[in-house]
Amino acid sequence: MSELEKTFDILYGIYNKHRRHHPENSFDTEQMFLMWSTDNPPDEIEGTEPFNDIEEAFNIAIDDEDALEMYDMSLKEASIRILEIQGVM
């Protein structure tokens, strides 16, 4: 299994954990923003539980700019960004 596949699988687990907290996000489109309420989106996303879980799982720090960009990414795109932050890609 490649590093990208491993990263995606871990991220997908985090995504599913948080997506299930929001009944309006019952559809699975593998879009990062579904980890937060789509009925009442947060004003700030850095430092929220989904990003805290991602930082802990991958031993990285996600700054404001990365958080905003990742919010609008697919899980695959975010997996690539995580590997870039780790210096793997």
58-76: pLDDT as tens digits: 999 999 999 999 999 999 9
Per the structure, the count of domains in the chain is: 1
> What is the reported pTM?
0.93
Model confidence at 85: pLDDT above 90: yes
pLDDT at 14: 98
Q: What type of residue is 79?
A: S
Residue 85 CA to residue 49 CA, distance in Å, equals 19
Burial of 37: CB neighbours in 10 Å, binned 0-12, 13-18, 19+: middle
Instruction: State the DSSP H helix or E strand holding residue 86, giving kind and residue range, or none if neither.
Output: helix 75-86
CA R_g for the chain: 12
pLDDT at 17: 96
Give the tens place of pLDDT for each residue, 3-38: 999 999 999 999 999 999 999 998 899 999 999 999
pLDDT at 1: 77
Model confidence at 51: pLDDT above 90: yes
Domain range enclosing 49: 3-86
